[in-house]
Amino acid sequence: MMLRCVASPFLKQYVSISNNNRLWTLNFNRESIAGKTPMVLLHGFGGGVGLWAQNLDALSQDRPVYALDLLGFGQSSRPDFSTDAQEAEQQFVESIEQWREKVGLDSMILLGHNLGGYLAVSYAIKYPRRVKHMVLVEPWGFLERPDTAEEDRPIPVWIKALGAMFTPFNPLAGLRLLGPLGPALVQILRPDFKKKFSSMFVDNTVPEYIYHMNAQSPSGETAFRNMTVPYGWAKRPMSQRMDQLQPHIPITAVYGSRSSVDSNSGAAIRELTPERPVDIITIRGAGHYVYADQPDDFNHRVLRACDKVG
């Protein structure tokens, strides 16, 4: 339903990987651009391929584009993940590699938002020969949690109590508990999502999509929870491993000027690997969902950043 306004021709398919798992995939490819390095889109936590609806036409004009629902999210399989943060991360990474092999891509540009950005770097560390460029959009999990986080920003006792009470549960458990009332909750709590896609949809397509993507078994959601420490910081922050990433892989980091996510991660990437080409882009008027808040500017900047990749 989110893709009904996409004009470019594309294929929809399940790509089978190990353990009877399948990854839901969109394939935008034409004979005239078949020789170009493909771009692979990795969505963020709680997302799916439909959230790229305002980007797919533009990004697929010059090169093949693939978008997949990450293992445990969207319409992809929802297996049991390890409760160990490192092992869960590797399950995600190996699913991407098995997907790449099945689809038959030799190398690719990885564009990841939020959790997708974290997994893009983790993948590139393990499989550097397969990645020609990375576009990290508001990436999660790069910086370490400050030791003084609570001292610098005191957290009220009642919030700490609620946090402790809900820690055993998954982040989106409340959405599932409401059943058919879930889309209405999405619209109440996040009315901005409908606004982000107002140029494409005037109905409740967006809140209904978000609900249905997260109303199923919380497989990837549980994995993400096991990869975090309180208040959303990563158990294994990527800043501790940037030295393992091959210096020949350029990085473009994209942030929204109105986002609550700390753009210092882009500066940290540049400082940790000074020999690497790192371009930091801030898009005015955009929040965390940069690609949906300012899609035209986002698409233009991404195309320009990847222009040198054959």
Cα(10)–Cα(60) distance, integer angstroms: 10
**Residue 163, in any domain of the structure:** no
pLDDT in tens, 123-157: 999 999 999 999 999 999 999 988 754 445 554 44
Please report, rounded to a whole number, the percentage of residues in the chain having pLDDT higher than 90: 69
Report the run of H or E that residue 57 belongs to, with start and end: helix 56-59
Q: How many residues does the chain have?
A: 310
pTM of the complete model beyond 0.75: yes
State how far the alpha carbon of 242 is from the alpha carbons of 19, 179, 226, 265, 287, in Å.
31, 42, 22, 11, 26
Note the pLDDT tens digit of each residue in 204-263. Answer: 899 889 888 888 889 999 999 999 998 889 999 999 999 999 999 999 999 999 998 777
User: Per the domain annotation, does 27 fall within a domain?
Assistant: yes
State the average pLDDT over residues 60-64: 95
Asked whether residue 250 is assigned to any structural domain, the reply reads yes
- H or E element in which residue 193 lies: helix 191-196
CB 58 within 8 A of CB 303: yes
Cα distance between residue 235 and residue 282, in whole Å: 27
Residues 280, 301: Cα–Cα separation, whole Å: 11
Q: What is the pLDDT of residues 197-206, one digit of tens each?
A: 999 998 889 9
With cut-offs at 50, 70 and 90, classify the pLDDT of residue 163: very low
Residue 258 lies in a domain: yes
Determine, yes or no, domain membership for 160. no
Provide the pLDDT for residue 157: 46
Which residues 6+ apart lie within 8 Å of 135 measured at CB? 109, 110, 111, 112, 251, 252, 254, 302, 305, 306
Q: Which tokens sit at 269?
A: 């990437």
Q: Write down the residue that tokens 């949809």 correspond to.
A: 201
In a domain, 194, yes or no: no
SS (H, E, C) 254-278: EEECCCCCCCHHHHHHHHHCCCCCE
Domain count, the chain: 1
Give the domain range for residue 275. 11-150+219-307
CATH number at residue 246: 3.40.50.1820
Please say if the pLDDT value at position 88 is more than 80. yes
What span, in angstroms and rounded, lies between the C-alpha atoms of 36 and 25? 19
> Per the domain annotation, does 37 fall within a domain?
yes
Task: Using alpha carbons, select from 123, 67, 66 the residue that is nearest to residue 93.
Answer: 123
Is residue 62 in some structural domain? yes
Kindly tell me if the per-residue pLDDT of 159 is higher than 50.
Answer: no
